[in-house]
Structures are given as C-alpha cells and as structure tokens.
Amino acid sequence: MDDILKFLDKIEQEAITALGQSADKAAVDAILVSYLGRKGKLADISKGMGQVAPETRPQVGARLNQLKTKLTDSAEKRLNDLTVSGAADQSFDYSLPGRRRLVGRKHPLLQTVDEIVRIFRGMGFSVASGPDIETDFYNFDALNTPEDHPARDLSDTFYIEKGVLLRTHTSTVQIRTMQSKKPPVRVIAPGRCYRSDAFDASHSPVFYQCEGLFVDNGVTFGDMKGAIITFAKELFGPRIKVRFRPHFFPFTEPSAEYDFSCILCGGKGCRVCKYNGWLEISGAGMVDPEVFKAVGYDPEIYTGYAFGMGVDRITMLRYRIGDIRLLYDNDIRFLRQF
C-alpha cells in the first residue's frame, strides 16, 4: 500500500513540475490530458484498484481524488499566471506597432543653460554657484548697493526675514566666488533668481540668469565685449550683432546694457523686437573697486568684468517662444516639444 501512495506522490511532483514549466494553454491542456484524461496516468491507477487490498482501497481512493483536485487547481493557477504575463494570449498581434514609452527630457531653460555653459567653457570659464536664499550682504551690500536703493524695496525683493531674501540676481555668486579664491577668477554662474513681479508674457517672479565674472591683471572693457560678442555668434550664428549702451549698476563702473540684433527679423524690425531691431539681453561692466574692497581684492592690482544674461529671454529667442509663462507652467504638451 505504501508503494502505491509513494507512486502517487511521485506522479504529483512530476505533474506539478510539468505544469510549472508549461508555456501556454495548449501545453497545460496536454498535461492535464496525460494525467487526468481517459487514458491518462491516474485512470490507469484507478483501473488497477482491483489489485489493491480491500481495506486500503478507501485511502488510495481518497488520495487519488485529492490528487485530481490538486492538479486541476494547479493547472488553473498556471493558466492564470500565463494570462497575466500575456504569454497565453494567443490573440496577441505581434505585428502591431509598439507602445512608445515616454522618455524624460531636459527643460528648455536647462538646455539653454547647458549651451551657455558649453560656449563659455570653450573660452576658459568654469561654472560656479551659490544659494537661492541669500543675505542682504551678498545680494546688495557687497555689491555696493546703497541702503536706500529701490531694488531693495519690499516690492521688488522677496524677503524671508530681515536680512534674508531670495536672490534677485546671480551677481551674488560674484561675491561668493571672489571670497573663496584669489585671482585669476573666470567663472559663469547660471541659476534661479526671484523678484516680486506679477506674471505676464515677459515677466515671471522666478527666472534664470547666468552671471559671468573675469578678474585678473589688466582685464579690459574690450575683453568683455569680445567675450559677449563671441558668445552671441556661437549661439545665434555669425550674422548676429551686439550693441552696448551706457547704463548704471552699483557694482560695475563703467556699466552697459547690451542688446543682440533681433534674431527673428535680422534687425529689420518685427513684433518680437517691437520694431526697433534690437533685443535687450542684460547688463555688464567693469567690476567696481568698491566690490573688490568688499571681498578683499586690491583694486590697484586687479581689474575685471562682470555680465549678466537673461536665460529666459535667450531661451525664448532660441525656440521662438512668445510667452515666458510657458516656461513655468510645466505643461507636458509644451515641454514635450523640446
């Protein structure tokens, strides 16, 4: 009697293993037939019951029934697994086009930052950075911006508490960089800036700038023009023109604002350049001696230039985006295009 029960154990193991390895519904069916079918292995055993001693027949019978249920259940479970994994679905049409997976991509602003960094790296600049949350000292004092300067006004600057604010420009990184190393210094510093402007087509309370700073012996205004013109031509092509207009910044002297000739109309005048042919990019100038004093550089030995750059503006020009808000809405339908 033990023999026959052992034999049934073996059959069970065999059948379960076979089911586990079956790859589709046809294979599962074939296994069921070979064990449970009319001419299957279990039927053979049932037929041989006559040779089993009468007193052990009930036990063997019960075991046979249990085995049948077990195999049917396992087969069902296997079919279920195969369907979940898709393998049993023979109606699947393998010639259908695949489903495209959404691939993440860089935000257009950061693509522009990458491009700016690439171009200035080529001119020997390295990348510096500073925190978005700054103190009065880095955002204003060290940059020679007087106590009563309108830029400090609560209406322009987001203050977190007295003396602590969200930086309004990346010029803060000029100070941090010069504090941390001796000249020569040649860095660009891309980053987020904040001003309490209301959103409209050309203003956003958060925006990107890229600062440039070069300090060494004998750096001139001409060097600065050269760097900015080279940058403009690399980014927008050899036909672009750059114009410098006198301006005032507390931290540079002399100072300028600079414009690129309109890349959309080539300078002839269009809606984007408001029909004057030029697009304002940002400010620049020679580092003011007061700034050098604030960071412990000797203005008798060193000169340097600094410039800012509106990354949003440049991004909008590169991709012909008409409204800055698109850059901050995070609408996937917009972002997918870049």
> Which residues contact ligand PHE (rule: CB under 6 A)?
169, 171, 249, 252, 255, 282-285, 306-308
What count of Cα atoms within 13 Å lies in the side-chain half-sphere of residue 338? Answer: 21
Q: Which of 252, 303 has the CB closer to ligand PHE?
A: 252
For the CA atoms of 194, 198, 203, 207, what is the dihedral angle to 10 degrees?
A: 20
For residue 97, say if its preceding peptide bond is cis, omega within 30 degrees of 0: no
Q: How far is the CB of 168 from ligand PHE (least distance, A)?
A: 7
**Helices (DSSP H) in 215-269: which residue ranges?**
221-236
Query: Residue 175 or residue 263: which is nearer to ligand PHE going by CB?
Result: 175
CB of 104 to ligand PHE, least distance (A): 31
Q: Left if phi > 0, otherwise alpha if psi is -120 to 50, otherwise beta: which for 43?
A: alpha
Asked whether 284 and 252 are in contact (CB, 8 A), the reply is yes
We find the least distance from the C-beta atom of residue 143 to ligand PHE, in angstroms, to be 8
Q: Is 146 left (phi over 0), alpha (psi -120 to 50) or beta?
A: beta
Residues β-bridged to residue 193: 207
**Separation between Cα atoms, residue 142 and residue 193, nearest integer Å:** 18
Nearer to ligand PHE, 8 or 287 (CB): 287
Supply the minimum distance, in Å, between the C-beta of residue 282 and ligand PHE: 5
Nearer to ligand PHE, 130 or 267 (CB): 130
CB 157 within 8 A of CB 151: yes
Single out the residue of 157, 143, 174 nearest to residue 249, CA to CA.
143
Nearer to ligand PHE, 60 or 317 (CB): 317
Residue 151: CB minimum distance to ligand PHE, A: 9
Nearer to ligand PHE, 267 or 308 (CB): 308
In the complex, the smallest distance separating the C-beta of residue 288 from ligand PHE, rounded to whole angstroms, is: 9
